[in-house]
Structure 1
Amino acid sequence: MTVRTRLVLLLGTVLWATPLAAATAPLGEVLDELRTAGYPVLYSLDLVTPETPIETPVASPDALRRAIRPLGLSLERVGEQWVITRLTPPEESVLLVRSARGQPLPRARVSLRRASAEFATDAEGRVVVPAPPGALVTVSAANHRPRTVRLAASGTVVLEPSPLIEKVIVTGSRHRLDERNVTGSLTTLESEDLASAPTLGGDALRTVVRLPGMSSVGVSAKPRIRGGVADELLVRLDGVELLDAYHLADFQNVFSAVDDRAVSSVDVYTGGFPARYGNRLSGVIDINTGDIAGPPRSELGLSVFSVFANTRGTLGDGGTRFLASARRGNLDQITRAVNPDLGTPRYYDALLRLDRDLGRDTTLNAGSFVTRDDVTLEEDETRARSHIDSRYLWLRLQRRHSDALHSASTLTYTYSDRSKRLRDVDDDSDRTGFLDHEQSLRKIALRSDWSWQGDGMLMEFGAELEHGSSRYRSRAEIDRGLIGALLSGERSSAYDIALDPDGLAGGAYWAAEIDFGERLTLQPGIRWDFQDFDPDGTTYHVSPRLGLRWRPSDTLSFHLDAGRFHQPEALHELQAADGETAFFRPQSADHFIAGVEWLHGAWEWRGEAYTKRYRRTKRRYENVFNPFVLVPELEPDRVAIDPERARARGFDLTARRHLTEQASVRFHYGYMDAEDRLAGEWVPRRWSQQHSAGFLLSWAGRSTSASLGLNWHSGWRGAVLPAEVPADTVLQLEDVLNDSTLRDYVSLDASVRRTWQLGRSTVTAFASVTNLTGRDNLAGLEYDAELEDGVIALETERETLMPLVPSIGVLVSF
């Protein structure tokens, strides 16, 4: 069975969905129903007629007011009756900006999305914006996260505090889908952006792979950032590092493990990231559940790929706020209905967060996150079982010591158990094997982060210390057949590994942002880390970083960034499943980035050129022909890649324009060249997609939203072998690895959402389709080998990726 067939049966389920259209009814019938319910409504025939169609259901005056607003009408109460009147929206909107504690925020900035105009709040946090209700504005303030909201005639916006300080130290490379980043502030991909983008199975956190600089062919939710290897990414949830941030982690990391409906924002860094983030080489995805204060709210939902629920509110006396989320994947139900012989891919995740104020300036947070995979898959004579159980517990004490000094101290416990059982017993093949692998980790960590704000200067500093113990048991016997001997000279391998490493790791950082006037900002930083379980004993490494930002005008900004980054292998990252018995020395890379941001009329432009030079790399394992297989460790094309050095360089360009108040479009183009130095030769990495481009068109109406996105990039690399080779041939890896380019990748994706108000509840129906055209994007090449008369004959088969995959679902909020 091919990869394409397997993915069709596993992911591409069953049902097509057409967008749900709103029901309508004549106004006269609607008013008769309201009159029976005790709401008499009067109107003039000069405004509407009894036959005027309006959207239903309408069960209250408020619902009627929303239904007739698109007709330019409003509903006013006069005594015991209701009167339909002509809508005359005010030309001005009043906005009050408050902190999460209810305090006014003076000098907060309110920017109109379709104009370069910006307005500031007064001492009471009040501002009058010359725009009608419904206009989009971006609200930002020092020490607080920005928000994008729609204006009302009079309304209040609550801004939640930033994690530490109001500006991100070390400018770095970051992306925002929906807001300008002209001040160097923390850039955020908000929940509205996550919900609106078309993604596989409605997995909103996969939106990240659509950003420039990400290498992806639509299978994995875990991106490779600017030419880096997949494990060079740090993923955090509310400041806690996640070891297993994706479901089906042993099978291409297909879905994210965090329910996006519990997410407030996602910060994405693709290089030059702040010194507070350590021990990764390429990028950071920092997921935040945000401020959970506010009215109680609950959601229940069902989609083709998952069942989910979340709720938030207060406990007891109202002093404790909570957020709870739970989700179960439906892939096992799909395979049971379509083909029970495929196996049972089950996965779950749950999140709980509790907040309590211990006084005006102190808040205690407690959290727990659990993710679990129990996956059994079969393909012909190949069987794979994977079990992953990860649990995280944390306590965080946040304190405002003064207007200038803030701190956050976090205690975290991490528990992770993983195992996999792989079997390949194909009697029709010359290769067989098995792998039994188990690993576990127990870790406790303490971290303290501080920020200080002075006159024209910001500083942040902190330290962390962790102790962990791990356990590895890995046993394998593998016969890779003729192809294995052709690639490495060794046909068979066996190992039996039993290791129990443990040790300490930690670090400290300091960073500052110094303003030289209003236009120039210098951002120095440094990080120091250590770990004592490396083969050379305790190792130490220092990572200096420097950023410079110059703003010659309010619409133009330039930045330069340089920094050194280190990545040791953590206790859970020993490559024992591939036979390694020791940790490698920490890798290191130098980042150099030059960027420009320009607001020109209705267009927002951003461009960055980058180079990443790997000074020290580690040995890794890959499949030469096709990485998208069920049991990669047992495949005949599994090889060790041990670069002398590596490099990645390129540039990203993004342009965004707001077409109307409801519609916007974003275009992007990127160039990338990522290579490893092998045996003195520069060899392209498989995911070095030289050219990439795409667009995302989004539209959001009063109750309906839709989006259409296109991703195109040059084909990933592959390896092409001759049709025949002598039986005693051993190919040099650097001569065949990634020596050809596959067909260009193209995916057209679409999504639509529709919401209905039912009393105090809302019902949202949503649908998405990925790879709308059903294009056969290539995963790679596979080879079958036969030995005859001293010659190995090689037969080629092309393997394809995701087919057209539809998904539908419904969400009830109350």
Structure 2
Amino acid sequence: MACAMRSTSRHEPRRFVLAPLLCVLALAFQIPAVAGPPYSGRPLVEVLREFQAEGIDLVFSSAVVRNDWTVKTEPPRGTPLETLAALVAPFDLELRDGPEGALLLIPTPKPLFITEIVVTPSRHTVSRQEQSTRFQLTREDALTAPSSGSDVGRFIQLLPGVTASDNSAAFRIRGSAARDASIILDGLELYDPYHLQAFQSPYSLIDGNSVDTIDVRAGGYTADLGDRHGGFVEIATLVPKEFGGEVEIGSLNSRFTFRSPTRSGRGALLLSARTWYTDALFNHTELGAGEDSKPGYQDFYAKGNFAVSPRLALSAHVLFGHDSLLFQETDEEVNENEAVDVETRNANLWFRVLTAWTPSVRSETTVSVGRIDKLRDGDSNLSGDLLHVNDDREVDFAGFRSATHWTIGSMPRTSTPHRTPTIR
């Protein structure tokens, strides 16, 4: 645009003065708006405060805008709000309308990742295969399971359908009583497999660190397994392949394990021993208030196995558990005194023969003897009436079990067991 000024008469001074002013204003309106001061290379906080000084009601915090953030590129020209939005966009920030006309500077919302879950109904089909609710745990599962004292009874409780109280290792399978679950260790069914069964059974007799596999049958088992309503837990201990062992001292118990194969590689020895601290019992049982108790319990397991041939294997096993508890309670206000001394010894010795006659036929024979001693001696003085109890029980038992398993074609494994237990 050009402005031409010309004067033709001396009598037009006002027109001569106004004409240049109007021309300058016209040129000013046609010149594009000049961008603000350069932003690149400056701290973002400093730039934002300049916008606040220019009258923009901008609200932000140091938790959203870091002091070490620097503007990397110059924003494109535009209105102040467009320039401000372009400045904060590279930092994953955006402007939102706030109360009373304020602008809020907030992080840009991130998209949520949603996992699609497809639920389908179960199907019941007629099958010739054996139907059972079965869970199998490996040694890795036993070592990594969160359980108190690395006890077998504690991490079996983590399986579906298995419940137990917080201070007991005696578990219940599918709502049955604890006595209805059979625990089988290396082919032998255990009687009284828990420590201090009269005081909520805080731990079992089996060290979880010596376990190789655990097979839990919670229902649908065949008749050859026996007379149990709850389920069966078959535990196989480790067969050492390498020399080694551990000594552990923990807050609940101390443990010793020794593993060693023979030089020929045909045999192996496994030893395991545990002992609990006296005060550990009070974290797992509720005996009342004001009592003076001195509990203690230990267990020991040893196994030696030898492969006579690729088809014949022999093994010998020893399991021993010992419990003791001296319990005293005194209430001077009502003149009541109670004291009881409890001791239990549980010993098992058994021999096992595994024979593979053919690839489809194998047999298992177990011969066992054992003894359980329970001694309870106590006095109770209730309001001056003295009562003394002495209960000494000994149970000797012996057993013979032989079972043959074979597979016919694709049919499931079948067995014909023979069991002869003797209890005196």
Q: TM-score, normalised by structure 1?
A: 0.33
Distance in 1 (CA, whole Å) between partners of 2:184 and 2:339 is 32
Partner in structure 2 of residue 174 of structure 1:
134
Residue 374 of structure 1, CA deviation: 1.4
Deviation of 1:433 (Å)? 4.8
- Give CA-to-partner distance per residue, 1:153-176, whole Å, 9 cap, x none: xxxxxxxxxxxxxxxx8432223x
Is residue 361 of structure 2 the alignment partner of residue 405 of structure 1?
Answer: yes
Residue in structure 2 matched with residue 468 of structure 1 by the alignment = 423
Q: Which runs of 4+ in 1 moved over 6 A?
A: none
- Please say if residues 360 and 408 of structure 2, whose CA atoms lie closer than 8 Å, have aligned partners that are also in contact: yes
The answer as to whether partners of 2:338 and 2:381 remain within 8 angstroms in 1 is yes
Report the CA distance shift for 1:311/1:404 in structure 2 as closer, same or farther (over 3 A): same
More helix by share: 2
Partners of 1:197 and 1:204 within 8 A in 2: no
Structure 2 spans left out of the alignment, 5+ residues: 1-128, 283-288, 331-336
Q: Could you tell me how far apart the structure 2 residues matched to 1:362 and 1:219 are? A: 43
Supply the AA of the counterpart residue of 1:455. Answer: G
Which residue is equivalent to 2:347? 391
Match of 1:300 among 235, 238, 247: 247
Deviation of 1:346 (Å): 1.1
Equivalent residue number for residue 312 of structure 2:
362
Which residue is equivalent to 2:64? none
Contact 2:150 2:207 in 1 (8 A): no
How far does residue 265 in structure 1 lie from its aligned partner after superposition? 1.8
| Residue-by-residue CA offset, 1:448-480 (whole Å, 9 max, x unaligned) | 1111122122322211112221xxxxxxxxxxx
- CA–CA separation in structure 2 for the residues paired with 1:433 and 1:173: 49
* 1:394 aligned counterpart, secondary structure: strand
**Counterpart for residue 437 of structure 1:** 391
SS in structure 1 opposite 2:224? coil
Task: Identify if the C-alpha distance between structure 1 residues 227 and 422 changes in structure 2 by more than 3 Å, giving closer, same or farther.
Answer: farther
Are 2:142 and 2:209, in contact at CA under 8 Å, matched by a contact in 1? no
- Residue in 1 aligned with 2:300? 350
Determine the C-alpha separation between the residues in 2 that align with 1:243 and 1:319.
31
Q: Return the alpha-carbon distance in structure 1 between the equivalents of residues 290 and 176 of structure 2.
A: 38
Matched, 1:207 2:155: yes
CA contact (8 A) 1:195 1:204 kept: no
Mapped pair 1:287 → 2:235: yes
Q: Secondary structure at the match of 2:199?
A: coil
Which residue of the other structure, out of 174, 199, 222, is the alignment partner of 1:251? 199
Pair 1:329-2:285 in alignment? no
Alignment of 1:739-778 (within 5 A): none
Q: Secondary structure at the match of 2:309?
A: coil
Q: How far has the Cα of 1:343 moved from its partner? A: 2.4
Map residues 614-633 of structure 1 onto 2, 5 A cutoff: none
> Conserved in 2, the CA contact under 8 Å of 1:201 and 1:305?
yes
CA distance in structure 2 between the partners assigned to 1:266 and 1:289 by the alignment: 9
- The answer on whether the counterparts of 1:407 and 1:449 sit within 8 Å (CA) in structure 2 is yes
Q: C-alpha distance in 2, partners of 1:272/1:255? A: 28
Contact 1:422 1:434 survives alignment (8 Å)? yes
Shift in CA distance, 302/276, structure 1 to aligned 2, threshold 3 Å: farther
Q: Which residue is 2:407 aligned to?
A: 453
In structure 2, the CA distance between the partners of 1:277 and 1:434, relative to structure 1 (3 Å rule), is farther
Asked whether the equivalents of residues 397 and 409 of structure 1 are also in contact (C-alpha less than 8 Å), the reply is yes
* Residue 371 (structure 1) aligned with residue 321 (structure 2): yes
Letter in 2 for 1:218: D
Q: 2:146 aligns with which of 178, 187, 198?
A: 198
Amino acid at match of 2:340: A
- Preserved contact between residue 170 and residue 275 of structure 1 (Cα < 8 Å): no
CA distance in 2, matches of 1:312, 1:274: 35
> Is residue 268 from structure 1 mapped to residue 224 from structure 2 by the alignment?
no
In 2, Cα distance between the equivalents of 1:216 and 1:360?
A: 42
TM-fit CA distance, 1:377: 2.1
The gaps in structure 1 that reach 5 residues or longer are 1-168, 176-187, 470-814
For 2:371, what is the secondary structure of its paired residue?
strand
**1:298 deviation in Å?**
0.8
Question: 2:326, 2:340 within 8 Å by CA — same for their partners in 1?
Answer: yes
Change (3 A) 1:334 1:439: closer
User: Which structure has the larger Rg?
Assistant: 2
Partner secondary structure for residue 250 of structure 1 = helix
Does the 8 Å contact 1:247/1:256 carry over to 2? yes
Contact 1:332–1:343, Cα closer than 8 Å, also in 2: no
Deviation at 1:332, TM superposition (A): 5.5
The structure-2 alpha-carbon separation of the partners of 1:193 and 1:432, relative to structure 1 and needing over 3 Å to count, comes to: farther
1:327 CA displacement? 1.0
- What SS does the aligned partner of 1:379 have? strand
What letter corresponds to residue 220 of structure 1 in structure 2? Answer: S
Q: Distance in 1 between matches of 2:137 and 2:382?
A: 47
Whole-angstrom distance in 1 between the partners of 2:353 and 2:131: 27
Asked if the contact 1:321/1:354 (under 8 Å) is kept, the reply is yes
Closer/same/farther in 2, CA of residues 219 and 409 from structure 1, 3 Å limit: same
SS in 1 for 2:198: coil
Q: 1:424 to 1:174 in 2, by over 3 A?
A: farther
Q: Is the 8 A contact 1:342 1:378 kept in 2?
A: yes
Per-residue CA deviations over 1:209-235 (Å, capped at 9, x if unaligned) read 233333423121101222222221211
The equivalences for 1:678-693 within 5 A come to: none
Shift of 1:318: 4.3
The letter for the 2-side match of 1:173 is T
Q: Which amino acid aligns with 1:362?
A: L
> What SS does the corresponding residue of 1:210 show, helix, strand or coil?
coil
Could you tell me how far 1:393 is from its partner in structure 2? Answer: 0.8
- On the 8 A contact 2:153/2:170 being kept in 1, the answer is no
Distance 1:284 1:204 in 2: 14
* Count of aligned pairs between the two proteins: 283
The amino acid of 2:408's aligned partner reads: G
Identity %: 24
